[in-house]
Structure 1
């Protein structure tokens, strides 16, 4: 089981702020990846820039979550995602979490609900976390 927020609140302290900062770092990384890939598409990728950005971001997030249960931004902020059994993400869980995140970004109301949940629930879970039973934690020392 993941740590109890009442018995071990240190695992949840500052997690929403760290997630926001990690999101900023991950967005920057995705922009850089997109800019690097564009010349390899003979600049045709410019015509499909939003789709290219979305696909690269989806792949980046899924791969990094499946490898270390955290994106590079999350690693920089010392947080990681865990399953309800306190395991690291595997590829299917990383894919589903990324799909939920992507759907939430595409629908502003869902993203707003996710943000409110992160700020108001004891485990600081977003909408995708609630659906999958996952949680973001401060990394264990």
Structure 2
């Protein structure tokens, strides 16, 4: 075992563990659509409550919507990606999980920052962001590379890490 390996665990390789990346881009796109629908429902509910309360608060609730809507979206990502499951509701449905690659924990702040960089890169140039994933071996998008994360399928990943732990025990 080399010192470089000890500093950072080996990332899954598509050549040796293709099941981790099988259909990943399609799953990511579908998960994104599911999450957008869920966030739209949350935003609609907040907007409806804010619109009604605006009449009783002489418009103050309408002003608060400027802050409440982005806060709801940020909380959605923090509560889902920052949880021990490391996946939004859509990602859980599609059996994918976000994995850190730089040895840092994936907490709520990292999840929010990951989502923020995602939305910025999509907003700036979504075709390049999506095309980028087609040409990286691990199907990482620009925001994944910036943040040091990797998206893989969850159920095969659990089996992969168990195999890696077993191999490490026998290498010692």
- Measured against the shorter chain, the TM-score band is 0.7 to 0.9
**Equivalent pair of 1:81/1:136 in contact (CA under 8 Å):** yes
**Equivalent pair of 1:2/1:86 in contact (CA under 8 Å):** no
SS in 2 for 1:42: helix
TM-score by length of 1: 0.84
Matches within 5 A, 1:38-49: 38-43=47-52, 44=54
TM-score by length of 2: 0.70
SS in 2 for 1:81: strand
**Equivalent pair of 1:78/1:139 in contact (CA under 8 Å):** yes
Question: 1:98 is matched with which residue: 115, 128, 135?
Answer: 115
Instruction: Give 1:85 deviation, angstroms.
Output: 5.1
Once the two structures are superposed, residues 13-44 of structure 1 have per-residue CA deviations (whole angstroms, 9 ceiling, x without a partner) of 11100000001000000111111112321345
- C-alpha separation between the residues in 2 aligned to 1:26 and 1:40? 21
- C-alpha separation between the residues in 2 aligned to 1:46 and 1:138? 41
* Structure 2, gaps ≥5 residues long: 1-9, 55-60, 157-172
Question: 2:80 is matched with which residue: 64, 73, 90?
Answer: 64
SS in 2 for 1:41: helix
**Equivalent pair of 1:31/1:53 in contact (CA under 8 Å):** no
Q: Runs in 1 of length 4+ with deviation above 6 angstroms? A: 45-51
Once the two structures are superposed, residues 17-74 of structure 1 have per-residue CA deviations (whole angstroms, 9 ceiling, x without a partner) of 0000001000000111111112321345778878755443232122210012110000
* Structure 1, gaps ≥5 residues long: none
Question: 1:132 is matched with which residue: 125, 144, 147?
Answer: 147
Partner of 1:18: 27
Query: Which of these two proteins has the greater Rg computed from alpha carbons?
Result: 2
